[in-house]
Structure 1
Amino acid sequence: MNHRQIDCFIAVAQCGGFSAAARQLYLSQSTVSQQVISLETELGYPLFLRKGHSIELTAAGSYLLQHFLELRDGYEAAVATASTIAKGGVAPLRLGYDGPLSSLWLGKALFRIPKEPGSFPFSLRRETMPQISLLLLEDHIDVAVTASTELDGSEGVRFHPLATAGPCVYFPRGHKFSRMKAVTLEDLQGETLLSAYGVPTTRFLSATGTLLEAQGIELRTATNCRDGDTAFMAVRAGMGLFVASHLCDAYAEALGVDSVDLDANLPSITLGIAWKQDDPRIDQLIAAAEQVVGH
């Protein structure tokens, strides 16, 4: 397996075809096709389903695409950081976050941090909350905006709470839940609950998702529902319901999505900042976040 094979595979998957990928890579179509076939032969299974002139990723291909993209992003970030350090600069603080719970205040918090030019470089990585927590545990990021339930029992992780809210269900306007003040787990039976993960839910389940499944509620991953943002988009499109917390209410309201309390034996969700290694910049981030969330 080599970089050219992987680059061709990613390009074909993202462009939706070999011809478009060849134009993007400035290669011949036959070269791109040969590289992908070579990769499939080496792996021992197909990455695409060929249907006439159209192609579609297999389940294995979809899984590999996501992780190849993560590896490429990590490689590019490492090269950029090494270049900064080589020039006498400071390595950026690698910050991971999930869209709905933090996008409304994270930028404001970073803007509030007093800093000299170049003293607080940072890089942002946006993923689902369970994935962000896993990246922190595996030292791929330095600090995570996440929920305490995602890190229960994790050794060596420090967590600073910012806000707490109870669990709720988000649904499209006009749904039968709009006439109810609260719903129970029984009310969710037969509904499609969206799981905001781009991989099978058996691999990355949030703590809340684990509790739901333990109580017989089936979670289903919508196509391309890779994070909280797309989960809310899917709700608005009528593809299903999304279980989260009222911390997302302002975000959901802006999208035209409604919420109702979930009356179930689920813990409240506490949003906060988690980290493993001490860094004075994290203290600055926490102070700024408290100012923003407090308002």
Structure 2
Amino acid sequence: MDIRQFRHFAAVAESLHFGRAAERLGMTQPPLSQSILALEKELGAPLFARTKRSVELTPLGQQWLPHVLEALAAVDALSETARRLRDGQTGYLTLSFVSTADYSVLPDLVRRYAEAYPDVEIRLVEATSDVQIPAVVAGERHAGIIIPPAERALPEALAYHRLVSEPLVAAAPAAWVEDGRLPIVDRVLSPEALLDAPLVLFPRTVAPAFHDLVTGYFSARGHPARIVQEAIQMQTIISLVSAGLGLALVPASLRNLARAGVAYVELASPPVLETGLVWRREDEAPTLRGLLGLVGV
């Protein structure tokens, strides 16, 4: 069987007349009759009950016709589907992201992409930068929102585009602010007030750039950071702050994560955290091109 036989069968089934069906198909009647006979032979049963005056579908023909029409419609839609895939209007986009992006660039980026390409499936995966980078290199993700390593030392296969730079703020137990344990002047916390404070921080193994940014803020003032607890999820870090285990230096956008018992306080001369998008230079996926266009690449 081939697609032409399906079209021949459908034409005869819908007109119940070999002559009119042949005319509709732009062919003569004898080859159309031969095509139907060959199809019936392959199926091992007749599709039409023929007399000199009429043509009727057999029970097999009646029940098979909807399946044939469905298959023909799917075939006819293939070229349009290919065009939409080529133009990035359908398909899927795999995007990984660090947990901090969930409170800054991710929601707006996903919203704008979904509005521009409503028929593209967006597959989101939360992961730390150290996990994302090899996954993007391996082609397991189209792109990743990461905190770039020092000097943006990324594999040669990857391209990078900065999305946002934002200052760090202190997320502190609210009780420490209320009882004066953290002296705040003009709504700003001085570096000296932080030097002996217990810190909750990402492990360096999973977030070296963020870890070094925070610890460097202390070492630049001649005092090592006093890390009392580590966690790999920003939500967990804020929960530990809420429990009074310590304070954390977090991106300013984390103010969007309201949590009882946590106060966000600006820092004097704060370190600045950069977040950006990475993708494989050789990746020509149309859905990725659409994403890059939205961020101005």
Q: TM-score, normalised by structure 1?
A: 0.53
- Out of 179, 190, 196, the position equivalent to 1:190 is 196
Q: Which runs of 5+ in 2 are unaligned?
A: 1-81
Query: In structure 2, what is the equivalent of residue 226 of structure 1?
Result: 232
Out of 246, 251, 275, the residue aligned to residue 279 of structure 2 is: 275
Contact 1:169 1:244 in 2 (8 A): yes
Once the two structures are superposed, residues 125-167 of structure 1 have per-residue CA deviations (whole angstroms, 9 ceiling, x without a partner) of 1123454345445654331112345671213332233332112
CA distance in 1, matches of 2:228, 2:138: 26
Counterpart amino acid of residue 259 in structure 1: Y
| Distance in 1 (alpha carbons) for counterparts of 2:254 and 2:292 | 20
**CA–CA separation in structure 1 for the residues paired with 2:137 and 2:150:** 11
Q: Distance in 2 between matches of 1:110 and 1:282?
A: 11
- In structure 2, the residue matched to 1:235 is 241
Q: Give the one of 244, 261, 265 matched to 1:260.
A: 265
With over 3 angstroms needed to count, the CA separation of the structure-2 counterparts of 1:162 and 1:205, relative to structure 1, is closer
Task: Report the equivalent of 1:208.
Answer: 210
* SS in structure 1 of the partner of residue 275 of structure 2: strand
Q: How do 1:135-146 and structure 2 match up within 5 A?
A: 135-136=135-136, 139-146=139-146
Rounded to whole Å, the distance in 1 between the matches of 2:149 and 2:260 is: 26
Residues 135 and 237 from structure 1, CA distance in 2 versus in 1: closer, same or farther, beyond 3 angstroms? farther
Whether 2:221 is the aligned partner of 1:217: answer no
Corresponding residue of 1:155: 155
CA–CA distance in 1 between the matches of 2:249 and 2:159? 26
Instruction: State whether residues 188 and 217 of structure 1, in contact with CA within 8 Å, keep that contact through their aligned partners in structure 2.
Output: no
Q: Paired residue for 2:117? A: 114
1:105 match: 108
CA distance in structure 1 between the aligned counterparts of 2:151 and 2:126, rounded to whole angstroms? 18
- How far residue 228 of structure 1 moved from its aligned partner, in angstroms, is 1.2
* Identity score, percent: 15
Please tell me the residue identity of whatever aligns with 2:166.
Answer: A
Q: Deviation string for 1:209-259 (max 9, x for gaps)?
A: 12443512133444xx331121122222222212122132222x3666322
Q: CA deviation at 1:269?
A: 1.9
Structure 1 residue 96 displacement after superposition: 0.9
2:241 and 2:108 map into 1 onto residues whose CA distance is 23
Q: How many pairs align?
A: 192
CA shift, 1:189, in A, is 2.7
In the aligned structure 2, how far is the partner of 1:206 from the partner of 1:106? 25
Indicate how the Cα distance of structure 1 residues 91 and 284 shifts in structure 2: closer, same or farther if over 3 A, else same.
closer
The change in CA–CA distance for 1:188 and 1:140 in structure 2 (over 3 A counts) is: farther
Tell me how far apart the structure 2 counterparts of residues 178 and 138 of structure 1 sit (CA, whole Å): 48
Segments of structure 1 that go 5 or more residues without pairing to the other structure are 1-87, 291-295
1:115–1:233 distance in 2 versus 1, CA, 3 Å: same
Cα separation, partners in 2 of 1:123 and 1:243, compared to 1, 3 Å = same
